[in-house]
Amino acid sequence: MACSKPKENDEEPILNEAKKFFSPLPDTFQSQDNPITKQKVELGKMLFFERRLSVNNMVSCATCHAIEYYYSSPAPKQMGALELQPRNAQTVLNAAEQFVQHWIGNRKDVEDQAFKSLTGRAAFGNPSEEEVVNKLKKIPQYVELFKKAFPNERDPLTAENIAKAIGAFERVLITPSRFDKFLKGDKKALTEQEKKGLKTFIEVGCVVCHNGVLVGGNTYQKFGIFEPYWKYTKSDSIDEGRYVVTKKDEDKYVFKVPSLRNVVMTPPYFHDGSVESLEQAIWIMGKVQLGKDLTKEQINDIINFLKTLTGEIPEEAIKPPILPP
């Protein structure tokens, strides 16, 4: 009946469908515990690139999360100050919005992640918080910047405030893309091909885990529901995921569902960076998560959709800061 059919110019079924699962990115990822201020973000940006946060001055946050790789790294696992990181470095673009941080959710939020990195052996490897705090206190420019970023504090240069500043910077690392335009109602923001991809992404079941603002990043899931993941990823060693943290059997091989924002720009894939190609990664996801052997066409469709999630890095975050000598 003509009356029940929506007029073509007013509604688009796939847009309405998409709105059920996804939401556009906000302007900032707010935090009640760490209000975002310009001074904190500026200081946080410097600290994000500051190798002197590490015990041997060798690594900064930006070592694993490099601008040129969309704030990630092309290495399966990247060296920290003293040893290899245990898992693949995910992009920190949009990461602040995740429900937990790290692949196994052992960090509450970006501030907790930054704080624990200071002394973590695989991250910055400092023997204590005091050590790194004292190192920064010898650089007069930092003493001033902490005063400005944390006014009314008697001793603003602390490990907690290092973490808060870095957290504040990460909370503005937001990359709106064409998909956000689409979600906000601009039907022409995606091509017909990309809309077909979005449809496939929903229909085959990817959307069950990859949904919300980040197209993922909001739940845990077992990696390998239908078959063990390592059968396909050919992983060198078997990572037991959240089980490492909780020691509960039901958490074996459970990982945070990664956000797919900018996924095209951030190979290699999976928690151990074991797979280089996106085609391969999607095919494996079909096999082990959905019990489906996705066709080349379906995979291609999905890639067309995923390309619409590549966003613009904020102007200020495209350029590293020049740091005090």
Site residues (vs its own copies, CB under 8 A): 49-52, 56-58, 62-63, 66-70, 73-76, 78-79, 264-267, 313, 318-323, 325
Tell me how far, at minimum, the Cβ of 291 lies from its own copies, in Å: 28
Nearer residue to its own copies within complex by CB, 54 or 221: 54
**How far apart (Å, rounded) are the C-alpha atoms in residues 87 and 101?**
12
The DSSP code for 22 is B
Helix (H) and strand (E) counts in the chain: 13, 2
Could you report how far apart the first and last alpha carbons of the chain are, in Å?
74
Nearer residue to its own copies within complex by CB, 266 or 308: 266
Of the candidates 277, 280, 229, 276, the residue with the CA atom closest to the CA atom of residue 255: 229
Nearer residue to its own copies within complex by CB, 73 or 161: 73
Of the candidates 76, 98, 68, the residue with the CA atom closest to the CA atom of residue 167: 98
Tell me how far, at minimum, the Cβ of 320 lies from its own copies, in Å: 4
Tell me how far, at minimum, the Cβ of 268 lies from its own copies, in Å: 8
Strands 220-222 vs 254-256: parallel, antiparallel or unpaired: antiparallel
Tell me how far, at minimum, the Cβ of 283 lies from its own copies, in Å: 17
Nearer residue to its own copies within complex by CB, 121 or 248: 121
- The 10 Å CB-count burial string (b at 16+, else e) for 174-209 is bbbbbbbbbbeeeeebbeeebbbbbbbbbebebbeb
Nearer residue to its own copies within complex by CB, 66 or 104: 66
Which pair of structure tokens corresponds to residue 184? 């906000």
